[in-house]
Structures are given as structure tokens and as C-alpha cells.
Structure 1
Amino acid sequence: MKIFQREQRSLFGEILDWMLTPLLLLWPVSLALTWLVAQSIAGKPFDRALEYNAQAIAQLVAVQGGRVVFNLPQPAREILRADDSDHVYYQVLGARGELLSGDRDLPLPPEDEIPVLGETLLRDADMRGMEVRVAYTWVKLDLPGSRPALVQVAETREKRSVLATEIIKGVMLPQLVILPLAVLLVWLALVRGIKPLSELEERIRARKPDDLSPLDEKVVPLEVAPLVSSVNDLLTRLKGSIATQKRFLADAAHQLKTPLAGLRMQADLAQREGSSAEELKQSLKQIGRSSMRATHTVNQLLALARAESSGKALVRQPCDLAALAVEAVRDTVPRAMEKHLDLGYDGEEPGAAAVKLQGNPTLLKEMIRNLLDNAVNYTPSSPQHPGVVTVHVLADPFGGAIVLQVEDTGPGIPEAERELVFQPFYRSLGTNVDGSGLGLPIVLEIARQHDATIEIGDTRPGHVPPGTRVTVRFAGGEASEPGVEAAQAAL
């Protein structure tokens, strides 16, 4: 049950409800328990008085001349009856159950009760339609073979009810004053308790739109610290996402400026008066080449942005790295044939358990495709002297890893530039190959998403040209030794 109902949930209201609802529900229960306790407390002194009267009357029962007699003096009888609030009754029965004195219609003890001599007992009964409290005792008689005499004293319960009511008033009336005060104190305590949340809200509202710095976790209560930590994590990821978007826009504007300028220049040349058909044809070729370059650049930028934005949301599933490598090699075969390249795959067979890992198949195939594109673009080849590009997928049982290698017989990458080539738009000097400078940054980002490491080395150390070998090592692979030995022998 909620004391305060709202359309929108309020933390202040929820806490107040859960604190006040039990308090207000327990108050009637406390009232009932107090009434029961008051009844018990109020009855004890009157029970003792009844017991005393019963014992005093029992002392007046005697045996004279072989018969039971009872003589209650008139003053004692008047004292016994002198009660302004309650009716008092008494009864004295002889050995044969005959009435010696008192009220004949006073209820008798239960028939199955065994008389206990000399002990005064108490019970509740009804007398003339009123509830009464009865004290009774059995008196031993000096008659051979006779039953004991019974003495009973009873009174109505009016004084007991009045005293219990007075006790209830004395206990509950202060509670009626304290209860609103307790509600007020609870309210004030809650206002004071959630004040840090209000201060946190004010600090957040006072921030500038571009302020994505983390919130201070030390100035908030311990219970709110996990929430602030989660907000800080969100702010960090949001800051990284915004930085990625800004970098993407800046990179796109920078990289598309040159091909777009070339397109405009070639279009202007094609529109010149007096241009020959051959000049127009060359301009169209240049326009086509520039558009292809712009398209490639846009695709690379999108691939890099997709890899960078994956983050913790990367969807992983079982992937067959060998099968992905074979697919990428098949997709690259047409370009390799145009350049007269010897393109091939050498490594574990697709489907082998040793080369399966948890990853994103789309990003892994994009990584292999970019490595192949780089190798195809930078490896010189001719029908007389074809270049060679080879993809290896190996399982390392000793290091517990899966290794992807892409080798070529190109000019190689100088050792001083092997860290620089992973920077966006960096291109080695002295190369006349069209490219965006984004292939290896894409490879690095995808490898980072899969907790893999990348190394660049020479395919044939000491030879000219040395070639390039890019090695991507994925942790957690499970391999079989014969497969690795065969792959290493092939190298």
C-alpha cells in the first residue's frame, strides 16, 4: 500500500512511502497490543482483592455439632457489598452442595475439575448476563468422608475496563502527539538526505554543453557513487564517440579535397573550347580515376569509423579465421590477375578447430582484405617477374595463439617507419601507389578490438627487395602441433 500515489516515480516519495507506511500500519497494531497488556495489568490488583476476599470468607466456614455452619457478620456483609462501580457476589456451599450463604445462581466450577484444597483459583464466568471474574477455593471440613466446602467470590469487570482505558489513554495520547512529530522529522531527514542529489543535479545543469569531463565521485554519497561512475563511463565513451566523429569529418574533408579538386579541374578542361576528342577522352579518364579514388577513400574512412566505434559493443561469435582468409583471398584474385601477381593461401585448412576464435567475422574479414589490398598495391609485378603475395593462418600450440600472416615480395617498410604507417593518412615516401593511408590504421583498430597484437617485419631479411610480412597474433588459440610444423616448414 502506498500512502502517496504519483504518476511519475519519485525517489523522495518512494523512501517516504516505505518509511511511513509501516509506521502508520503498526500504530493500530500497537494500540491493540497495548489494550491487551493494559487489560492484564488492570486485572491483577482486582484479582488479588478477590482472592483475599475468598480466603477471608473461607476462614468463616466451620463444623459445629457434626454439621457445616457459616456465619458472616453484618458489617462484613456490608463491606463486601459496598462497591460503587461493580456488583459483588459470593456463595458458600456445604459438603453436600447445599447453599449455606450468598447467591444461589453463581456459576459453579467445571464439573471435571478436581478440587484443590487450600488454593485460591480464578476464572471468568457470566452472571445474570454480565461478565464476572470469580475467585474460588475449596475448604477442608472435619467430617469423615465428606466433600470439601466451596467458597466463591465474584465481581463484574467495570473497574477493570475503566482502569485499562485510563492506561490506554496514558500511553496512546502521547503517541498521537509524537506520531506527527515523527512524520515531520522523517520528512526533514529525507530532505537533508537527498540534498547531495540536488546538488549533483545543479552541478550537471551548470555545465557547458561541450563539457564532458568526469563528475567528482568523492563529493557524492557512497550509495550514489556507482551511478556517478556509470555516468562518467558514459561521458568518456560519448567524448570518444564525438572525437571520432570530428576526426572522421576532418579526415574526410582533408582526403576528399584533392580528388574533388581534380574532378573540377578535369571538368573545366573538358569544357574548354577547341578541345580535341583525345583531350576530352583523357579528361574523362582522369575524372573516372579521381572518382574511384574518392570512392575508395570514403569506403576506407567508413571502415575506420566502424572499427573505432565498435568499442565494448563488439558482437563476438565463433569465427573460422582460415575460412575468412580463404574468402578474402578469393575476393582479391581478380585484382591480383590484373597485376600478374602470384596470390595464394598456405596454412590450416578451413574448419580446423585450432584456428577458431571468438570475434566479429565482418571486421576480421575487413582486416584481412586491407592487408591484402596493401600487399597487392605495393608489390611490383610483371608477366616476366611476377610478385608473390601469400596469406598464412597458423596455430601456435606453445604460445596458445592463432597467427595470421600476410607476406609480399614488395619493397618492404623501413624499420624507422613501421610505427608511423599505423597513423591515419601516413604513406611511405618514394611510392607512387594510389592510396588513402588508412588501410593499416583500420587493421590496427580491428586487431585492438580483438585483443590482438601486430608486428611488421621483412619477408626475406637480407634480400633486395626484402618484402613485407605483417603478423597479427590472436591470444587464446588452440592448435595442433603437426599443423603448425607443416606451416612453419612451408615458410
Structure 2
Amino acid sequence: MKIFQREQRSLFGEILDWMLTPLLLLWPVSLALTWLVAQSIAGKPFDRALEYNVQALAQLVTVQNQRTVFYLPQPARELLRADDSDQVYYQVRGPGGEVLSGERDFPLPDEEERPVIGEVRLRDAEMRGLDVRVAYTWVPIDLPGAEPALVQVAETREKRSVLATEIIKGVMLPQFVILPLAVLLVWLALVRGIKPLSQLEERIRARKPDDLSPLDDRAVPLEVAPLVSSVNDLLTRLKHSIATQKRFLADAAHQLKTPLAGLRMQADLAQREGSSADELKQSLKQIGRSSVRATHTVNQLLALARAESSGKTLPRHPCDLAQITQEAVRDLVPRAMDRRIDLGYDGAMPQAPGVVVTGNPTLLKELIRNLVDNAINYTPSTPSQPGVITARVLPDPIGGVVLLQVEDSGPGIPEAERELVFQPFYRSLGTNVDGSGLGLPIVLEIARQHGAEVWLEDAHPGATPPGTRAVVRFVGTVPAAAAEEAAQAAL
């Protein structure tokens, strides 16, 4: 039963429903119980009067000349029947069932009922179409072998009904006043109780769009404090996210500004009158390099945005990390060969025990490509001393982890900068490499979405150059039995 039925749930209506619905449902039950109690209370004094009358009549049953007789003087008979509201009936039956006095059509007790001398009993019956209350008793007859005589007195129930009705009125009429008053008080109490929520709503609506400061939780009820705390946490995260996005956009604009400015300058030089063929060729070459750099930066920006926005919505299933790593390395072999770099894979084979992780294969491949691509960018290579890059997948079934490693023979990254290189657009000092500075931030974001850890370390500690080893530690490895499923999914 819903008193306040709405398409949208209302806290006020829900509480009011739960408070008033039981009250309104129990009220008719209260009426019925009150009526039964009133009937019982109203009947007790009249039952006692009936018992007194039947006992008085029983004393008038005597034995004379070996005969059972009953004598009730006329004045006493009239007094017995004198009643302004109800009809009074009586009957006296002798040992043989003969009617000694009173109404002959008086209803008899149940035939199965066993007589008990001197005990007054009560029952409900019907006489001449009227509901009556009957008091009856058995009187011993002092004759050999004689059955007891039966004395009965009955009266209609008018006085009882009137008294029960008066009791009902006395009890229930105040409730007709109290019930609406109670509903009103409940309504007012609820209005007052949810007033802090309305005030909180007004405070939130009055805020400026750029106001992300925490809400004041000192003026809210204790029950609402966790909600306000959660909203404040959300505002803090949102504020941090917006600040990060603003900083990211500013950095992206700065990074794109340089190649675009170079494009414009080279285009102006190419259009200048009197430019020789060599100058025009050099300008076009610079335009090509600037466009490649701008394209690479845009692609990395899109990759980072895709990793941040879709990582939690893309489907995840068991993935063979060894197989994905081999595919990513194979895709980048031509680029490594152009740089005269020895790129290879040295680790667990596909479908080996412990190489399966739960994740999104597209994002995992993007992570590996960025690690290898970053290593290619920063690994010097000469014909006499070619650069070396090695990718590995090292499972640890006992520890329940899988390690992905990409190490190179480059100059390494100073320990003080190893946290900084995961920031967008950061590049180590002293490097002269064309890049966007987004590769490692993409790796960090994808790893974070897969519950993995990322860190950098020296590939060859103590050597010169030390090289760099990027390590991604995946937790919660899928059992080896899932390797076959991962292989089938990859196909």
C-alpha cells in the first residue's frame, strides 16, 4: 500500500508511507478488538444479574407430596419480567422434562451437555427470532431416582449492545481526533527532519559552476554526514582531475605549438621569392619532419585519452601476455632495423604456465608498444656498437605474478628522474630525441587500470652505460589452465 505513489522515489514519501500505512492498517484492527472487549465488559454485569435471577428461581423448586412443584407469586413474576429495554423469559422443567412454569418454547441446552448440580452456566441462544443470553442451572430433586430439575432465565441483548456502543464511542471518538492530529504531527516532524537536506540542496544550488570547494559538514545531521563526506571526496577528485586536464591541455598546446610554428615558418621560407631549389628542398624536408612530429604527438595524445576514458569500459578476459608481447615486438622490428637496433624477445613462450593475465588485449598491446617504442627512441646505435633492446615475460606461478620487462642498452635514466618521466611531456635533460613525452604516461595509465605496478631501474647496474629496464608487475595471475582459453581468444 503506497499512500504517496510517484514515478521518482521520495525520501519524504517513503518515510511517511512506512509510518502512516501501518497506523491506518492497524486502526480497523483496533476497532474490532475494542468492540470485542466492549462486548465482554458490557456483558459481565448483566450476566451476573442473570445468574442471580436463575439462582433465586432455583430456590423456589420444592418437593411436595412426592411431586416437584414451583411457585412464583404474580408480583415476583411481574418484577422478573419488568425491563424497559429487553424481553425477559424463564422456564422451569421438572425431572421428567415437564414444564412447571414459564415459556414452553424456551430452547433447551445441548443434549450432550452433562448436568452439574448447583452450577450456573451461560450460553447464547435464539428465542422467537431474537438473540438472547441464557443463564441456567440444575436443581436436585429429593425423590428416589429423580433427575434434576432445569431452571433457565433469558433476556434479549439490547442493553448489552447499548452499553457496548457507549464504550466504543467513549474509546474511539477521541481517536478520530487524535489520529488526524498524529498524522499532522508526523508530517510536521518529517518536514522539520528533512529541512537540513533542503538547506544542503540550496547551498549546492547557490554555488558557482567553478566552485569545487568541500561542503561544510558541520551543519548537517549525523546520518547525512557520510553522504556529504562522499560528495566532498568526489569534489576533491573532480578538482584534481580538472586541474590535471587543464595542465595537460596547456602542455599539449605548447607541444603542438612548436611543430606547427615550424611548419608555418618553413612554408613561408618555401614561398619566398628567389629561393633556390636546394633551399626549397630543405624547407620541404623540415616541413616533413615537423608534420611527423606533430602527427606523433597527436597520436600519443589520442592514445592517452583512449587509455584514460575507455580502459574501464572495454571488455576484459584472460590474455596470453607472452603472445601479445611477441606480436608487439614483431610489429616494431622494422623500425628498430631502421635505427640499426637489435630488438628481440627473450622470455616465456605463449601458452606457458603462468603467462595469462586478465585484461584488455588492445590496451596491453598499446602498453608494450609504448615501452618498446620509447626504448628505440632513447637507445643509441652505431655500426660498431649497435643498440640492443630485449623484451621478456617472466611468470612466477608460485607468487601469482607476471613480470613484463623491456630493457635497453641506452644511457639510462638518473634515479632522481625516474618518477618524473611518467609525467606527461617530461623528457630527461640532455636528451635530443624527437618524442612527445607521452609514452611512459600511457604505460602508467594502462598499467594502473590493470592493477599493475610500473617502475624503472638500471638494466646493468655498475656498467657504462647502465641502460634502462622498465618493469611492469601484474598481480592476480589467471591459473595456467586458462592459457588455452586465452590462446583461443587471441585467434
For residues 446 and 218 of structure 1, the distance between their equivalents in structure 2, rounded to whole angstroms, comes to: 39
1:241–1:309 CA contact under 8 A, matched in 2: no
1:242-282 CA distance string (max 9 Å, x none)? 23332231121110010000000011111111223332222
1:283 deviates by 1.7
How many residue pairs match? The answer is: 480
For residues 51 and 130 of structure 2, the distance between their equivalents in structure 1, rounded to whole angstroms, comes to: 20
For residues 235 and 315 of structure 1, the distance between their equivalents in structure 2, rounded to whole angstroms, comes to: 29
For residues 284 and 16 of structure 1, the distance between their equivalents in structure 2, rounded to whole angstroms, comes to: 77
For residue 3 of structure 1, what is the aligned residue in structure 2?
Answer: 3
> Quick check: 1:300 aligned with 2:289?
no
Deviates more, 1:282-291 or 1:463-472: 463-472
For residue 359 of structure 1, what is the aligned residue in structure 2?
Answer: 359
1:232 deviates by 3.4
Q: Evaluate the alpha carbon distance shift between residue 274 and residue 169 of structure 1 in structure 2; reply closer, same or farther with a 3 A threshold.
A: same
1:218 deviates by 5.1
Q: Evaluate the alpha carbon distance shift between residue 194 and residue 312 of structure 1 in structure 2; reply closer, same or farther with a 3 A threshold.
A: farther
1:8 deviates by 4.5
Query: Where do 5+ consecutive residues of structure 2 fail to align?
Result: 481-491
Aligned-partner SS, 1:353: coil
For residue 379 of structure 1, what is the aligned residue in structure 2?
Answer: 379
For residues 311 and 207 of structure 1, the distance between their equivalents in structure 2, rounded to whole angstroms, comes to: 32
For residues 253 and 424 of structure 1, the distance between their equivalents in structure 2, rounded to whole angstroms, comes to: 12
For residue 189 of structure 2, what is the aligned residue in structure 1?
Answer: 189
For residue 169 of structure 1, what is the aligned residue in structure 2?
Answer: 169
1:24-72 CA distance string (max 9 Å, x none)? 2322221122111111111111111111100100001000111111111
2:353–2:395 CA contact under 8 A, matched in 1: no
1:299 deviates by 1.7
For residues 396 and 132 of structure 1, the distance between their equivalents in structure 2, rounded to whole angstroms, comes to: 94
2:460–2:466 CA contact under 8 A, matched in 1: yes
For residue 246 of structure 1, what is the aligned residue in structure 2?
Answer: 246
1:338 deviates by 1.2
1:393 deviates by 1.2
1:118–1:139 CA contact under 8 A, matched in 2: yes
1:200 deviates by 1.3
Q: Evaluate the alpha carbon distance shift between residue 463 and residue 124 of structure 1 in structure 2; reply closer, same or farther with a 3 A threshold.
A: closer
Over the aligned positions, Cα root-mean-square deviation in angstroms equals 2.3
For residues 7 and 308 of structure 1, the distance between their equivalents in structure 2, rounded to whole angstroms, comes to: 36
Q: Evaluate the alpha carbon distance shift between residue 232 and residue 359 of structure 1 in structure 2; reply closer, same or farther with a 3 A threshold.
A: farther
For residues 143 and 452 of structure 2, the distance between their equivalents in structure 1, rounded to whole angstroms, comes to: 112
1:309 deviates by 4.7
1:398 deviates by 6.7
1:309-363 CA distance string (max 9 Å, x none)? 5687686432222112111101101101212221100000112231222333333
Matched ranges for 1:13-412 at <5 A: 13-217=13-217, 219-309=219-309, 316-396=316-396, 400-412=400-412
1:60–1:72 CA contact under 8 A, matched in 2: yes
Q: Structure 1 residue runs of 4+, over 6 Å off? A: 310-314
Query: Where do 5+ consecutive residues of structure 1 fail to align?
Result: 481-491
The TM-score with structure 1 as length reference comes to: 0.91
1:226 deviates by 4.2
For residues 421 and 8 of structure 2, the distance between their equivalents in structure 1, rounded to whole angstroms, comes to: 55
For residues 442 and 2 of structure 1, the distance between their equivalents in structure 2, rounded to whole angstroms, comes to: 53
For residues 393 and 311 of structure 1, the distance between their equivalents in structure 2, rounded to whole angstroms, comes to: 22
1:210-239 CA distance string (max 9 Å, x none)? 122333445433433443344334334433
Read off the aligned partner of 1:365 and give its amino acid letter: K
Deviates more, 1:224-233 or 1:306-315: 306-315
For residues 36 and 303 of structure 1, the distance between their equivalents in structure 2, rounded to whole angstroms, comes to: 79
Read off the aligned partner of 2:138 and give its amino acid letter: W
Q: Evaluate the alpha carbon distance shift between residue 404 and residue 132 of structure 1 in structure 2; reply closer, same or farther with a 3 A threshold.
A: same
Read off the aligned partner of 1:453 and give its amino acid letter: E
Q: Evaluate the alpha carbon distance shift between residue 40 and residue 435 of structure 1 in structure 2; reply closer, same or farther with a 3 A threshold.
A: same
1:409–1:465 CA contact under 8 A, matched in 2: yes
1:370–1:443 CA contact under 8 A, matched in 2: yes
For residues 399 and 355 of structure 2, the distance between their equivalents in structure 1, rounded to whole angstroms, comes to: 13
Aligned-partner SS, 2:36: helix
For residues 360 and 163 of structure 2, the distance between their equivalents in structure 1, rounded to whole angstroms, comes to: 82
Read off the aligned partner of 2:89 and give its amino acid letter: Y
2:454–2:471 CA contact under 8 A, matched in 1: yes
Q: Evaluate the alpha carbon distance shift between residue 26 and residue 453 of structure 1 in structure 2; reply closer, same or farther with a 3 A threshold.
A: closer
For residue 475 of structure 2, what is the aligned residue in structure 1?
Answer: 475
For residues 314 and 244 of structure 1, the distance between their equivalents in structure 2, rounded to whole angstroms, comes to: 23
1:31–1:172 CA contact under 8 A, matched in 2: yes
1:440 deviates by 2.2
Read off the aligned partner of 1:371 and give its amino acid letter: L
1:96 deviates by 1.5
Read off the aligned partner of 1:11 and give its amino acid letter: L
2:410–2:466 CA contact under 8 A, matched in 1: yes
For residue 414 of structure 1, what is the aligned residue in structure 2?
Answer: 414
The TM-score with structure 2 as length reference comes to: 0.91
For residues 115 and 327 of structure 2, the distance between their equivalents in structure 1, rounded to whole angstroms, comes to: 105
For residues 408 and 382 of structure 1, the distance between their equivalents in structure 2, rounded to whole angstroms, comes to: 14
Aligned-partner SS, 1:168: helix
For residue 439 of structure 1, what is the aligned residue in structure 2?
Answer: 439
2:358–2:478 CA contact under 8 A, matched in 1: no
1:142 deviates by 0.8
Aligned-partner SS, 1:354: coil
Deviates more, 1:265-274 or 1:452-461: 452-461
